[in-house]
């Protein structure tokens, strides 16, 4: 009897999830969602586990979030996996985090390929361990013809450095005569950023209660909707992503008449 009850409960909740997915798809879905996946260390601490246990749990949430984003028809999902500031963490933690792309791809790459997901990366590749970069580049190569969701990992990414590098490249092209001063508008400048192939994010999500950007996509987030939650990244579920998108859609409806 108890088991039957449990089954019924599960079926009920998964059918409402499916209903909600259909409701969301009936309205404009954000094309590009970016997420600052914060709170993995805190999640572990609460359970008296080492921080790396939180990162590992967080990796599983990346998979679930990717699959739902794909089902919802989101075109690009950018995930902030590692910032240029994160090198300051203890070496054992950094070493562990740098193994996560391989573990993730060893386990889930077949599923990503099956689901037509394309893997991309945005960030400074030079400082990454060879084994990390090799795994990501293989995944990018194996998924390059997929035309479903773009799963874009921001890894060793920092926005101010990105903007400065763009300025330097613009100067270079100016001096070699490729660019005139009057050519340099917002669209041209955007094309010098690491996100040149993506539209700007429509929605930014940050977990774990911090209300700041932490050097993430400063230029690209100029017009984005922000959604913050106290939920720690390893606890972030399908329901939370749906809640964020519903909030986005209701804001669009409210302001749509005057602003678009
Ligand atoms: C990382 C797990 C998620 C929470 C945030 C910090 C730790 C998945 C990847 C990944 C990256 C590239 C790729 C496939 C998977 C990842 C890092 C950290 C550095 F092609 N999770 N995850 N990369 N965490």
pLDDT in single tens digits along all 260 residues of the chain: 555 555 555 555 567 899 999 999 999 999 999 999 999 999 999 999 999 999 999 999 999 999 999 999 999 999 999 999 999 999 999 999 999 999 999 999 999 999 999 999 999 999 999 999 999 999 999 999 999 999 999 999 999 999 999 999 999 999 999 999 999 999 999 999 999 999 999 999 999 999 999 999 999 999 999 999 999 999 999 999 999 999 999 998 776 665 54
**pLDDT computed for residue 253 by the predictor:** 76
Contact assessment for residue 12 and residue 181, using Cβ atoms and an 8 Å cutoff: no
Q: Say if ligand 1 is within 6 A of residue 104 CB.
A: yes
**pLDDT computed for residue 10 by the predictor:** 56
Contact assessment for residue 135 and residue 101, using Cβ atoms and an 8 Å cutoff: yes
**pLDDT computed for residue 11 by the predictor:** 56
Q: Which of 100, 106, 125 to mutate to test the pocket of ligand 1 (most atoms within 8 A of CB)?
A: 100
**pLDDT computed for residue 257 by the predictor:** 62
Q: How far apart are CA 30 and CA 225, in angstroms?
A: 10
Contact assessment for residue 143 and residue 118, using Cβ atoms and an 8 Å cutoff: yes
Q: Which atom of ligand 1 is nearest to the CA of 56?
A: 2
**pLDDT computed for residue 258 by the predictor:** 58
**pLDDT computed for residue 14 by the predictor:** 65
**Which residue from 26, 30, 24, 15 is spatially nearest to 224, judged by alpha carbons?**
30
Report which protein residue has its CA nearest ligand 1's atom 18: 81
Q: Active-site positions?
A: 38, 86
- Outline where DSSP puts E strands in the chain: 32-36, 76-83, 118-122, 150-157, 203-206, 225-228
**pLDDT computed for residue 103 by the predictor:** 98
**Cα 252 to ligand 1 centroid, rounded to whole Å:** 31
- Sheet of 118-122, strand order: 118-122, 150-157, 76-83, 32-36, 203-206, 225-228
**pLDDT computed for residue 54 by the predictor:** 98
Q: Say if ligand 1 is within 6 A of residue 245 CB.
A: no
Report which protein residue has its CA nearest ligand 1's atom 1: 81
Question: Count of CB atoms within 10 A of residue 254's CB?
Answer: 10
Report which protein residue has its CA nearest ligand 1's atom 10: 101
């Amino acid at each position: 009897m108890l088991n039957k009850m449990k089954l019924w409960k599960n079926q009920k909740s998964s059918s409402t999830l499916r209903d909600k997915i259909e409701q969301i798809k009936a309205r404009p879905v954000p094309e590009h969602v970016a997420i600052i996946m914060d709170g993995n260390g805190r999640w572990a601490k609460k359970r008296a586990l080492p921080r790396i246990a939180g990162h590992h749990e967080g990796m599983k949430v990346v998979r679930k979030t990717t699959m739902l984003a794909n089902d919802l028809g989101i075109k690009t999902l950018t995930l902030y996996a590692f910032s240029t500031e994160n090198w300051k963490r203890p070496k054992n933690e950094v070493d562990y985090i740098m193994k996560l792309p391989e573990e993730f791809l060893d386990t889930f790459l077949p599923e990503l390929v099956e689901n037509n997901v394309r893997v991309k990366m945005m960030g400074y590749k030079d400082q990454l361990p060879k084994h990390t970069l090799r795994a990501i580049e293989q995944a990018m190569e194996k998924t390059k013809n997929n035309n479903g969701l773009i799963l874009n990992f921001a890894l060793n990414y920092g926005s101010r450095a990105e903007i400065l590098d763009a300025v330097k490249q613009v100067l270079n092209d100016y001096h070699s005569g490729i660019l005139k001063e009057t050519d340099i508008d917002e669209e041209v400048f955007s094309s010098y950023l690491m996100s040149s192939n993506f539209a700007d994010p429509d929605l930014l999500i940050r977990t774990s209660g911090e209300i700041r950007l932490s050097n993430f996509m400063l230029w690209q987030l100029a017009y984005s909707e922000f959604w913050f939650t106290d939920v720690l990244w390893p606890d972030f579920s399908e329901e939370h992503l749906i809640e964020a998108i519903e909030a986005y859609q209701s804001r669009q409806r409210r302001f749509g008449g005057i602003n678009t």
